[in-house]
Every structure is written in C-alpha cells, then in structure tokens.
Amino acid sequence: MFHEQGQGRAVVLLHSSMSSKNQWRALEHELRARYRVVSIDLLGYGDAATPRHDGEYRLADEVRHVERILGMVLLPGEPYHLVGHSYGGVIALQVAQRAMHRLASLTLLEPVAVHLMPADDPARVEFDGLGEEVLRHSSNGDPASAAASFIDYWGTGFASLPELKQRAFARLVPKVLMEFRALALDQPLPGALSGITAPVCLVYGSLSPAPMRGIAARLATLMPRAQCVRIEAGHMAPVTHPELVNPVVSQFLAAGDRLMRDPPALRAVEQPARPARSATSACAWALAICLTGLLCAWPAVQGAASELAEVPVAAQAWRELPAAFSRAGRYAVVSGDPRAAGAFVLRVELAPGFELPPYRTSHELQLVVLSGELSVGGGSPAHPTNFHTLESGYFARFGESETWFASSERGATLQLFGLGPIKD
C-alpha cells in the first residue's frame, strides 16, 4: 500500500491513474540519500483496496486514504513535501488544502484538475469527451478498447504494449471511470487554493495533450507562489523521461527546504530547474521585468489584495497602464503590494497594438501568458527579427539588468509574479 525509504524530511509521492507507487522507483533512488520518501498506492492500484463500485466514490475518499497512511508514517504536525502526477496531482491538491501549515512544497506533474476549469473551457470539454469515450467502450463490453482510448490519449501507444500489460490496463478501467465521475462531481470552493502559500511547481510537457498547458496556466493564477516548468516530454514523463523530471523535482524540493528556513514573505519563489533556456523563454521573462519595472510610477492600489482574492479580477480593481505606451492596456494587483517588501501578483491586460519600447531594469519576476499572444525580444534597437512569439500557457523566468522590448498585435492577458519593492 505504501513504500518508505531514506532519512530526512518526508517527501510524499502520489502516482497517476493506471499506475502504482512503483512508477517512482527512479525518483526514490535519487532522493533517498537526503529525504524520507513515502510512495503511496492510490485506491484500486498496487496493493491498495479498490473502492466500492456504487457511485459513491469521491476525491475525498482518496484524501482520507492518503491521510490515513501519513498518520502512520509521520509525526503529528511534521512538515513534508508533496508530489503528485496526473490524477495523483489532483489528490495532492486536495491533501495540500487540508495540510497547508505542514506543507514544505507542492510539486504537480500535469495534474488533471479539470474540475477547476469552467464547464465550457476547451480543456474540460476535451477531457470530458475522453471520459465519455472510455465509458462507451466499457458499456459495450469492450474494456480493452476503453483502456486503449485512455492510454493512447496520453501518448503511450496501447497497441505496442505486451498483451499481458494490455489486459492489466483493461482490468483497471472501472477505477478510471470512477475517477472521471469523481472529478465531474467535485465542487471546489472559489479561492480555496489561494491559501496554499508554500512554493508550488507546476510541470507540464511540450508533447502532452494541449489541455495540460491550460490547466497549468489556470493553477498558476490560483496559488500565490506557483510557477511553471516546461519539459520536452509527454504526460507520462515521470516514467518515460525520469532524467528530465527528477532533477526538476529534486531541485525544487531543495528550494522548498530553503524557504522553510527563511520567511516566505521576504523571499522570491525560486525556479527549481532551468532546462536549456530558449530565446523565447528568456525574452518572455524579460518582458515581465520590463512591465513591472514601471510600477513605481503608478498610483498605489489601496485594498487591492482583499478585492482580488478570487478569479476573475474585480472590475473596480483595474488601473490603466501609463500613457507612455504607444497603445495602452490595464493592470490590477491580485495580491501583495509591488511597492512594498514581499511577494506580489499582478494581472496585466494588453490592448491590441500594444508596444513596449526598449526598457532596462534589474528586477526578477515570473510570467504566465493566460491568453492571446505576446512578441518579446532583447537588445536595442527593437528590430522585428529579434522578436519571439509566446502563446497562451507559456511560462518564463529571466535574470537581471538587460534591455527588452515587447509588442502584442492582438492583445494578451498576463499573470506576473515577483518580489517587492519594485524601484527604477
């Protein structure tokens, strides 16, 4: 039901659907010299009992199962790191909300948190369609086709698997259908995730289904210390590409340990790992620096943090960007105060035709493109050939003291994360 090894601060690992605690063997091997690693079988997988097939299974059942095991292996109030992949990432989110005071860090590897998306969001519509396809095959007495639909969606290739493995996946279809149903029935509380103040790392793959990027971008707006990391792999990267995933997790755990030693409000969230930085990601991060570097010239927004505890941003909280821009936009303070010490989050909407002339600043921030497209570049003068386009769902982080410029032909909505005070 669970596996425990190593010594040090506990790291709790929750696996994906149609998997087990064994998917973490490579990560366990890497972490056990520095951490006490606890890998847990979710209900219906590995050595854990299968829930009843009576329609009463909910996400809360998995949470109670995980908490029961943690009660056996951890001391009361003992802090721990939490890592979840896919459906295990959804359960990790639920557990984190009930253990905020104990959470050292939260790492989410493509959590299928579609229940947090609006009903008409493309990510949720696509995922619901997958559930309907799996249910249709299962209802027709064809669990193998049901398993194939599910496995193929995540890019594994059901037909290429050994027959013994195919049969094993087919037997797990009833539990997968329970998970689809549980996600559909869950009613998350608005703003509940904003209370997770531990550092959060959202990892998604460039080769994964498109909804995974949308979910990562959505979650990044809901948790104040969240950041995204993109890797060149697919949804099952913890199994297929541990050499890409495990360094990200390991370095982020170390960053979480450092933040446990220092007051979180006085430190910037640290990027756990830097895959080879492309010109695109570098330029995007630089844009974040440019935009927020001008904040010291803007009027303070009194009470903005309390007004903006939920998404969407309240209408009265928006302020116009400075008139110096060739085409304007607007911004709102989601949390914190950019002109004071501590972490802050900004929402920025750029109007079509927006342009930012070359600007130099020394501050570090993080950027998520929530919608639209953004062209960014570095150096001076601002030449069109230096621009790179960032689409919805892109995340970037960049360094210090360089000159950058930006434009948006169609407009864009950004989420900016940083540490104040921001000064010229």
Which domains are seen in the chain, by residue range?
Answer: 2-121+185-266 (3.40.50.1820), 279-420 (2.60.120.10)
Please state, as a whole number, how many other Cβ atoms lie within 10 Å of the Cβ of residue 102: 18
**How far apart are the C-alpha atoms of 216 and 183, rounded to whole Å?**
17
Please answer whether residues 338 and 418 qualify as being in contact, where contact means their C-beta atoms are separated by less than 8 angstroms: yes
The pTM of the full predicted model, rounded to 2 decimals, is 0.65
Which residues, in sequence order, are CB contacts of 292 under 8 Å at separation 6+? 338, 346, 361, 363, 365, 416, 418, 422
- C-alpha dihedral (115, 213, 336, 303), degrees to nearest 10: -50
DSSP character at residue 424? -
Please answer whether residues 264 and 238 qualify as being in contact, where contact means their C-beta atoms are separated by less than 8 angstroms: no
| Local confidence pLDDT in tens for the 424 residues of the chain | 899 999 999 999 999 999 999 999 999 999 999 999 999 999 999 999 998 766 789 999 999 999 999 999 998 889 999 999 999 999 999 999 999 889 999 999 999 999 888 888 888 899 999 999 999 999 999 999 999 999 999 998 999 999 999 999 999 999 999 999 999 998 887 678 988 989 999 999 999 998 898 899 889 989 988 989 999 999 999 999 999 999 999 999 998 888 766 543 333 333 333 333 343 333 333 344 334 333 333 333 333 333 323 345 555 578 887 655 555 788 888 777 777 777 778 888 888 888 877 766 556 667 788 888 888 776 555 555 456 778 777 766 655 666 667 788 888 888 877 777 765 4
Please answer whether residues 230 and 207 qualify as being in contact, where contact means their C-beta atoms are separated by less than 8 angstroms: no
Give the residue among 283, 276, 207 at the shortest CA–CA distance from 241: 207
Which residues, in sequence order, are CB contacts of 42 under 8 Å at separation 6+? 14, 15, 48, 62, 65, 66, 87, 88, 91
Please answer whether residues 39 and 110 qualify as being in contact, where contact means their C-beta atoms are separated by less than 8 angstroms: no
